[in-house]
Chain A
Amino acid sequence: MSAAPDKVKVRLATTSLAGCFGCHMSFLDIDERLFELVEVAEFDRSPLTDIKHCGPCDIALVEGGVCNADNVHVVRELRANAKILVAVGACAINGGLPALRNRFDIQDILTRVYRDPVTDHPCVPNSPELPLPLDKVYPLNEIVRVDYSLPGCPPSGDAIWKFLTDLILGRMPRLERSLLHYD
């Protein structure tokens, strides 16, 4: 992939919500192609840049499902700023393993997990600093409009590279059979 020198670089944002950062690790697995990428793209908000808030950008890659109020704020910020939003990985697409909690009542979960070690009474933390959990873990497309989905747990570096280059070059992103996995 090469860009004409006068071309404006594509602006990318990435974030991880209720996920494990595995998709981001996989992103780094594009290895030396990172050099190729930075020829045509620059990063906005991302764990790679440590930029805390997103500005207008072209493509947002979002890993993880939506499990709490903070996740909602973050994915809304990216959605508001990105022309294209991609749900990356199993959790972003159908909630993934965090969504295994969906069959339980969140109040039961919290009261069972947070107990006073002495009295054994429930002591669910209630500081306003802590994001409040949603009743369930939701896939991205149930919270914001999602333009594309890139499945995998995680999607391989090759799959991410193929998907991203398709998007940057204006092609409909498609994964050949060997790159398409849900696991």
Chain B
Amino acid sequence: MAMNSDVVGRALARHRADPTRLLQILREVQEELDWIAPETARDIADGLGVPITRVQSVVQFYSFLYDKPRGRYRVLFSDNITDRMLGNAALFEHMLKRLKLRRGQTSWDGAASVDLTSCTGMCDQGPAILVNNFAVTRLTRKRVDEICELIRIGAPLGEWPAEFFHVDDNIRRRETLLTPLEPGAALDAAIARGRQGMMDEMKRSNLRGRGGAGFPTGTKFEGARNAPGATRYIVCNADEGEPGTFKDRVLLNSFSTRVLEGMAIAGYVVGATKGFIYLRGEYRHLQEQLQRDIDSMRASGRLGASIRGAPGFDFDIEIHMGAGGYVCGEGTAQVESLEGKPGRPRVRPPSMVSVGYLGKPTVVDNVETLAHCTEIAIEGGASFARRGTKTSTGTKLVSVSGDCERPGIYEYQFGVTIGRILQDCGAGPVTAVQIGGASGVLITPEEFSRRIAFEDVSTAGAFMVFGPDRDIFEVARNFAHFFAHESCGFCTPCRVGTAIQRNIMDKIAEGRGSNYEVNDLKRLAEFMKRTSHCGLGETAGNAVRDALNKFRPAFERRLRARDFAPAISLEAALEPARRITARDDAEAHLDVEG
């Protein structure tokens, strides 16, 4: 086995001992050493010339970095509601039992650890897990058994059956974006239009950000271009963490030409020479292939200096891996993470377009948004704007999962009705659809004529279908757990509010709730929305609020009492003392009511 200090030394050398590369260094070191031991952290801190606390705060922020020993095989079960619906809980228990482990525990021989993680973006082919950050899809009991056996014999991951790691695109419907692009065609078209001409087309297209917020992309480009300073950056936000979303996975897997050339076009328009792809840690399986795509682009003159022979069109792209943190999908948090820090959202203003990565003007745009730039370059903004609606131009990728016959990626022009999507994906009777992921909205059948568009139901594209047997309370509870797990902890209302919300949902789930808690849930949702620092906290109460408004009986039937029930199970609270005194008399118990 390699000496720890050698591993650290090589990682430091690869990254020129640059402290802004701390997260990348930690990821790479952990891939070899399985965890970041205190002496490893010390070596890294010394090598970078930073206080040990900076290393510790990064390690403790990201879910996929460990400062306690973990197994050589680190298994994480994706725990989105869609994985639950596909039976991941039983498989999780089965694996724990097979490996004789408790959740989060490392086996005695250091072989394995098994835990849960937030949605890994495989909702169309779950239940899914990550093994040492690599996605394994379509888990079955048989596959769990096979994996346990491979772990037992210590088979290297590279020798596991390839089909375990197979990820389908599941493209079900195409319009203009999900069509092949002749390499270089979009770049040539942009160069022909010139920098200002391409900027004009961007504005004419009225393209709006596909990450969900819908900010006009041309305006963002212009803001960054006009910001003072010589150095600018393009960041492709591929931290697709919203539960239920997986469209960027497909774009990066099969349409990377569009994404990468879109980034280069953005760089051309904005005057940036450097771009980053912030690839979520869950998409580790895409990293090498994406790197090859970048390298071949560079080799064929579509990246690097004087792209396609255009003097001054210099642009290159680097992949930066995330390490488990939903909040890093927020633009300012992502830039913090790119700088090698914990992904805590910055105070705004100033906006990214004037003070972004390393304090320089930075455009952070969604994968899908940047891919659309290739369409605009080729056909022009006016033609692009003819698709969709007046205020929501172009097409939108929708990630469909849950109770339907054909989960996968659907491309529609903006303005498509929810009912149409349900019909296309082969949904039977539907109780509700969660659109926009955990932070989105819960839509019931009476609203199925509503449209996907910024002016109606605005979404980054998650579309989770719940059939008649699904319990919407459990859906909301799953999302409440998600937000408590993903809150960065920076601001009071989100840090504490998401934890209180989760605890109340658990209390109600255990049949110990009352209307007192139900009322608190409504207040909490409004409170977090009004006082939180970023979008995570602002939307953390949405799912519970919608579920309460539309499925209140699902809450009420779980309540123990109308107006009050104790915060705790009193009978359980006596258990430790009962055990130590070996008492079991009548006075050693407390009944439920009193």
Q: B567 contacts A135, CB within 8 Å?
A: no
A143 near B577 with CB under 8 A, answer no
A135 touches B516 (CB 8 A): no
Kindly identify which residue among A80, A133, A141, A145 contacts B577, using a CB–CB cutoff of 8 Å: A133
0 or 1 for each of B578-590: is its CB under 8 Å from A? (1 = yes): 1111110111101
Residues of A within 8 A of B572 (CB): 135
List A67-83 residues whose CB lies under 8 Å from chain B.
Answer: 69, 72-73, 76, 79-80
Q: Which residue of A lies closest to B574 (CB)?
A: A132
Q: Which of B573, B587, B594 has the most CB of A within 10 A?
A: B573
Query: Is B32 located at the chain interface by the 8 A CB criterion?
Result: no
* Interface assignment of B566: CB less than 8 Å from any CB of chain A: yes
Q: Is B564 an interface residue (CB 8 A)?
A: yes
- How far does the alpha carbon of A133 sit from the alpha carbon of B573 in the complex, in Å? 9
Report A89-127 CB contacts with B as 1/0, cut-off 8 Å.
000000000000000011100110000000000001110
CA A179 to CA B477, docked complex, whole Å: 42
User: From residue 461 to 516 of chain B, which have CB atoms closer than 8 A to chain A?
Assistant: 516
Contact (Cβ within 8 A) A134 B570 = yes
B587 touches A126 (CB 8 A): no
Chain A positions within 8 Å of B567 at CB level: 138, 141-143
Chain B interface, number of residues (Cβ within 8 angstroms): 25
Max chain B Cβ within 10 angstroms of own Cβ: one of A80, A131, A134: A134
**Cβ–Cβ contact A125 & B581, under 8 A:** yes
Taking the closest CB of chain B, its distance from the CB of A36, in whole angstroms, is 34
Shortest distance from the beta carbon of A72 to any chain B beta carbon, whole Å: 6
CA distance A76 to B565 in the complex (A): 12
**Does the CB pair B580–A134 fall under 8 Å?**
no
Q: Closest approach, in angstroms, between the C-beta of A107 and any C-beta of chain B?
A: 4
Using known A-B contacts A106-B576, A134-B573, determine if residue A124 contacts B566 with beta carbons closer than 8 Å.
Answer: no
Q: A5 at the A/B interface (Cβ < 8 Å)? A: no
B568 interfacial contact with A, CB 8 Å: yes
Q: How far is the CB of A149 from chain B (nearest CB, A)?
A: 15
Contact among B566, B577, B582 with A135 in the assembled complex (CB-CB below 8 Å): B577
The answer, yes or no, to whether B563 is at the interface (CB within 8 Å) is yes
* B581 in contact with A135 (CB, 8 Å): no
A143 touches B587 (CB 8 A): no
**Could you tell me if B581 and A124 are in contact, using CB atoms closer than 8 angstroms?**
yes
**B573 CB contacts on chain A under 8 angstroms:** 134-136, 138
Q: Which residues of the other chain, A, contact B586 by a CB distance below 8 angstroms? A: 128
A134 to chain B, nearest CB (A): 4
**Do most interface residues of chain B lie in helix, strand or loop, or is the interface mixed?**
helix
Cβ–Cβ contact B581 & A132, under 8 A:
yes
Q: Known contacts A131-B587, A132-B583; decide if A144 and B577 are in contact (CB<8 Å).
A: no
Asked whether any CB of chain A lies closer than 8 Å to the CB of B200, the reply is no
Measured between beta carbons, the chain A residues less than 8 angstroms from B575 are 135
Give Cα distance in the complex from A125 to B581, angstroms. Answer: 7
With beta carbons under 8 angstroms apart, the residue of A110, A131, A136, A141 that contacts B580 is A110
Q: Look across to chain A and name the residue whose beta carbon is closest to the beta carbon of B582.
A: A126
Interface residues of A in 44-93 (CB under 8 A from B): 69, 72-73, 76, 79-80
Binary B-proximity of A11-36 (CB < 8 A = 1, otherwise 0): 00000000000000000000000000
Contacts A128-B588, A135-B573, A136-B573 given; does A144 touch B564 at CB 8 Å = yes
Contact at A143–B566, with CB atoms within 8 Å? yes
Residues on the A chain within 8 Å of B564, using CB? 144-145
Look across to chain B and name the residue whose beta carbon is closest to the beta carbon of A80.
Answer: B594
Please report the C-alpha to C-alpha distance between residue A134 and residue B569 in the assembled complex, in whole angstroms: 11
A136, B566: Cα distance in complex, Å: 14
Residues of A with C-beta under 8 A to B581: 110, 124-126, 132
Inter-chain contact A135/B576, CB cutoff 8 Å:
yes
Contact call B578/A145, Cβ cutoff below 8 A? no
Interface 1/0s, chain B 33-67, versus A by CB < 8 A? 00000000000000000000000000000000000
CB neighbours (8 Å) of A106 from chain B are 576-577, 580
Which residue from chain B places its CB closest to the CB of A142 in the assembled complex? B567
Bound together, the chains give a CA A135 to CA B585 distance in angstroms of: 18
Q: Note all chain B residues with C-beta closer than 8 A to A132.
A: 574, 577-578, 581, 583, 587-588
Are B577's CB and A110's CB within 8 A? yes
Q: Which residue of the partner chain B has the closest CB to A79?
A: B594
CB-based contact A145/B516 at 8 Å: yes
* CB neighbours of B588 from chain A (8 A): 69, 128, 132
Across the interface, B566 reaches (CB within 8 A) one of A107, A110, A131, A142, namely A142
Residues from chain B with Cβ under 8 Å of A138 in the complex: 567-568, 573
Which residues in B have their C-beta under 8 angstroms from that of A125? 581
Closest beta carbon of chain B to A130's beta carbon, Å? 8
Contact (A128, B566) CB under 8 Å given A106-B577, A134-B577? no
Q: Give chain A residues whose Cβ lies under 8 Å from the Cβ of B516.
A: 145
Question: Could you say which residues of chain B place their CB within 8 Å of the CB of A126?
Answer: 581-583
A73 CB to nearest B CB, Å? 8
- Docked CA distance A69–B586 (Å): 11
Known interface pairs A69-B588, A132-B581; A143-B576 also in contact (CB < 8 Å):
no
When chains A and B are docked, how far (Å) is the Cα of A131 from the Cα of B577?
A: 10
Q: Taking A128-B588, A134-B570, A138-B568 as contacts, is the C-beta distance between A107 and B583 under 8 angstroms?
A: no
B576 CB contact (under 8 Å) in A107, A131, A141, A145: A107
List A residues at the B interface (Cβ < 8 Å). Answer: 69, 72-73, 76, 79-80, 105-107, 110-111, 124-126, 128, 131-136, 138, 141-145
> 4 nearest interchain CB pairs?
A142-B567, A145-B564, A76-B594, A126-B581
> Can you list 8 pairs linking A and B with CB atoms under 8 Å apart?
A72-B590, A106-B576, A106-B580, A107-B577, A107-B579, A132-B581, A142-B566, A144-B564
Q: What 6 new A-B contacts, CB under 8 Å, besides A133-B577, A142-B568, A144-B564?
A: A72-B570, A107-B576, A125-B581, A132-B588, A134-B570, A144-B594
Q: Which residues of B contact A (CB under 8 A)?
A: 516, 563-564, 566-568, 570, 572-583, 585-588, 590, 594
